[in-house]
């Protein structure tokens, strides 16, 4: 039997290199956390910025006029044959949604028709409801000029 006469075995002697490797790994992990903290911390000094006037936000009338002209561009593209009936209705629906978003901040561009109705976006929801059949029908149909009038009314009556 190994050991002394009482039966005890001596403590195992490990290579000192294992302790050095373990300490090096701990130092590397702590160093990594310090590095990440150092790189991602906010700057404590504020760099002075030259006094520059912020661009003024467009007035509601300017936004309204811009979207009315965009509706006219869609109709002109449709009349010129560059847009199909479906594409024209899709563009009109997008324009009405973006107008609602730009004029009120409501994210109408990602809302379904039910969401628009529940959000009480009356004229916008009505316009989108008019465009849905022409946008999603299996056969292209719809009156782009009448739909453009709906878009103009929605833009003119909104806010």
101-117 core/surface letters (b: 16 or more CB in 10 A; e: else): bbbeebebeebeeeebb
Average pLDDT, rounded, for the chain? 84
Q: Rounded to the nearest 10 degrees, what angle do helices 122-136 and 144-157 cross at? A: 160
pLDDT interval class at 29 (50, 70, 90):
very high
Tokens of 82: 């560059």
Calculate Rg over the CA atoms of the chain.
34
How many other C-beta atoms are found inside a 10 Å radius of the C-beta of residue 100? Answer: 28
Cα within 13 Å of Cα(12), Cβ side: 2
Q: Is the per-residue pLDDT at 57 higher than 70?
A: yes
pLDDT of 47: 58
How many other C-beta atoms are found inside a 10 Å radius of the C-beta of residue 6? Answer: 5
Cβ atoms of residues 38 and 122 within 8 Å: no
What average pLDDT does the segment 111-135 reach? 86
What average pLDDT does the segment 111-129 reach? 86
Annotate 110-126 with DSSP letters as a single string. Answer: G--HHHHHHTT-HHHHH
Q: Say what the pTM is.
A: 0.62
Tokens of 95: 């324009």
pLDDT of 52: 60
Cα within 13 Å of Cα(34), Cβ side: 6
* Residue 52: C-alpha distances to residues 46, 55, 57 (Å): 16, 9, 15
């Amino acid at each position: 039997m190994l050991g002394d006469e009482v039966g005890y075995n001596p403590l195992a002697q490990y290579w000192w290199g294992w302790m050095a490797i373990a300490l090096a790994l701990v130092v590397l992990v702590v160093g990594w956390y310090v590095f990440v903290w150092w790189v991602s911390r906010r700057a404590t000094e504020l760099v002075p910025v030259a006094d520059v006037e912020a661009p003024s936000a467009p007035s509601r009338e300017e936004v309204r006029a811009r979207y009315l002209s965009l509706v006219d561009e869609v109709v002109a593209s449709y009349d010129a044959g560059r847009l199909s009936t479906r594409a024209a209705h899709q563009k009109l629906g997008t324009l009405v949604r973006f107008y609602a978003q730009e004029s009120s901040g409501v994210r109408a561009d990602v809302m379904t028709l039910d969401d628009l109705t529940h959000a009480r976006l009356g004229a916008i929801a009505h316009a989108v409801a008019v465009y849905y059949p022409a946008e999603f029908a299996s056969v292209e149909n719809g009156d782009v000029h009448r739909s453009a009038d709906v878009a103009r009314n929605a833009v003119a009556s909104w806010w």
